[in-house]
Structure 1
């Protein structure tokens, strides 16, 4: 019988690092990381392909939209991916396999059942695993990821924090219902408790997956609060500068440049977070009972520098705007001043975007 590890994230828990490390350098004679795309054999996140292969309405999936697939192309892709999984099983010299797809958390229960039945038909048993991140740190991380992706709207910041709350029971209960709770493992996402302080090593250690430490790939760094302020001004207040229309590669170019702007870590204020956690207390308790650990965080420890609302996000430090001027050249350094307004910052960010994408 085959053994399938189904890694479902959650989002913002080091999944990209885990996926890319296992896809590119899994030095194991006992485990195989599933490969689903012949044209991109090292494409490591299975979310898009599994969505097309097993969701009940694959034509409406994010994957089909992003890939620009027609109705017939979706049907063909669905068949190709299912066959590709079977080929992975049949050609492997091992009997243990790893799937990794954070978007499984967003599937409907009936779609997970379809995936489970497919695996059972291939004589597979399974273990579903994932890390669980505390709500405040999760929301802080998701906020900046959505900002980098250009998908934030001109909305009141407190309202935005409400929409990115993790909704644990909605996200995870389906795995227990479909696969059985005996086949589901939740792990607390806390770097202080990770094996050697590394989520990739921790993941492999828990599952007894052999790993060469020198091959670990780390992805998705955090932006500083100063960098987030510049990007926020650009995304929400730049005239007709729609980041959402850029390709993923173009968005990454901008983000990688902003990683170089060092500064304070980005935190939400307790005044933003406390009402949200209070509203979702039952959901948090449900998750803590399944996890076996508390998700409690110190909400006030960073309040002196934390973001209370849009006003703080649009307060640009002279260090940040001078850094921006330096990226554009001597002309902008000479015209820089320490009290630049939102429109000027947004315009300069657009010039940086144009410069980066033209090189």
Structure 2
């Protein structure tokens, strides 16, 4: 029986988490259609693939062993969905070629190997990756993603050509992460059409892992240097629940000059992208997104008051350690400090 595998490689911040969770929830439905989802996050060297700096034969061999151990005689179609396979987002996928080669070698047991990639406008992509690192609690500057040497790696035509050179152009299917396209059909439906897996053509997709709005990004940028991993997770949960941005709203973390520079830098490549790869979609460029309004004083005041209330509630639910005496005024003092500090973060007086 011919073995086929369909790999969703991301890119990052384009709904990959939602697809992974949907696939995991529907394993039985997939099996009825002789389809199996292989969760690459169970491969202990998965993150090493994302971070590859040169070809690593041992990782390729270990990947092959991991995937081969999941193959079953009565299953002929397989799915992998993992944004690690786009490469290292911190270097803007400068290592995509190394990742593609290692992945190809790891899939040598399959007769058919096809790649599915979701691409968004680079000006928004850069900002989404920056907020992802803020989510993770890192102290990072957005300027680190604006270096021209690095930006060349997310000229999407170059990115796709790196995969085409390994898998063949006929086996690569990119789609635009665009409100006009994904307003008509969700990502997993497109993936279902790509893989010809009937159950995926009709599944609904829930939204997960929402990004920060502008005020949340400012708060996280100021907080992260002072928080440990556990504390960063608490902050992330609060920000995503109460200060998130809608899925197709515009990131506004760059200056107007930086935004204009990025749009100009990628203009020619994106025109080529739509002519060469997206010609079967009913758009000829990425749709201009609308921003949510977080710039007013009223909005900022609302944001920091909201955060103070949420943090105070978290503090009130915390039990003091056994070895420490109780301090009845602790919550009040911390609330006052947090109040003053968040006002400073958001530029309020």
TM-score, length-scaled by structure 1: 0.68
After superposition, what is the alpha-carbon deviation per residue over 1:46-97, rounded to whole angstroms, capped at 9, x for unaligned? 9437569997238xxxxxxxxxxxxxxxx6x8755432311222x2422111
After superposition, what is the alpha-carbon deviation per residue over 1:291-341, rounded to whole angstroms, capped at 9, x for unaligned? 325334437x54x9578xxxx9x9981112211221233726974898x45
Partners of 2:52 and 2:26 lie apart in 1 by: 26
What is the count of residue pairs matched by the alignment?
303
Equivalent of residue 318 in structure 1, options 282, 286, 301: 301
Partners of 2:38 and 2:338 lie apart in 1 by: 53
1:231 aligns with 2:220: yes
Partner of 2:322: none
1:1-359 mapped onto 2 (5 Å cutoff): 1-26=2-27, 27-28=29-30, 29-35=33-39, 47-48=46-47, 56-57=55-56, 81-89=63-71, 91-106=72-87, 107-109=95-97, 111-120=99-108, 122-153=109-140, 155=141, 159-160=143-144, 162-163=146-147, 165=151, 166-194=154-182, 197-209=185-197, 210-211=199-200, 216-235=205-224, 241=226, 246=229, 251-262=232-243, 266-268=251-253, 270-288=256-274, 289-292=276-279, 293-298=283-288, 302=291, 305=293, 317-329=300-312, 331=332, 335=336, 340-341=340-341
Partners of 1:123 and 1:297 lie apart in 2 by: 37
Residues 1:36 and 1:182: Cα distance change in structure 2 (over 3 Å): closer
**Do the aligned residues in 1 keep the contact of 2:56 with 2:102 (CA within 8 Å)?**
no
**Do the aligned residues in 1 keep the contact of 2:175 with 2:278 (CA within 8 Å)?**
yes
After superposition, what is the alpha-carbon deviation per residue over 1:118-153, rounded to whole angstroms, capped at 9, x for unaligned? 434x24211111111122332332221121123343
Where 2:70 maps in the other structure, the secondary structure is: helix
**Do the aligned residues in 2 keep the contact of 1:36 with 1:46 (CA within 8 Å)?**
no
Residues 1:252 and 1:22: Cα distance change in structure 2 (over 3 Å): farther
**Do the aligned residues in 2 keep the contact of 1:9 with 1:15 (CA within 8 Å)?**
yes
Deviates more, 1:176-185 or 1:200-209: 200-209
Partner of 1:351: none
Partners of 2:48 and 2:70 lie apart in 1 by: 14
Residues 1:180 and 1:78: Cα distance change in structure 2 (over 3 Å): closer
Residues 1:123 and 1:259: Cα distance change in structure 2 (over 3 Å): closer
Partner of 1:68: none
Where 2:226 maps in the other structure, the secondary structure is: coil
Where 1:259 maps in the other structure, the secondary structure is: helix
**Do the aligned residues in 1 keep the contact of 2:8 with 2:80 (CA within 8 Å)?**
yes
Residues 1:317 and 1:136: Cα distance change in structure 2 (over 3 Å): same
After superposition, what is the alpha-carbon deviation per residue over 1:2-52, rounded to whole angstroms, capped at 9, x for unaligned? 111121111111111112221342312232112457xx5xx8x99437569
Root-mean-square deviation over aligned CA pairs: 4.0
Partners of 2:294 and 2:343 lie apart in 1 by: 23
Q: Where do 5+ consecutive residues of structure 2 fail to align?
A: 88-94, 313-330
TM-score, length-scaled by structure 2: 0.70
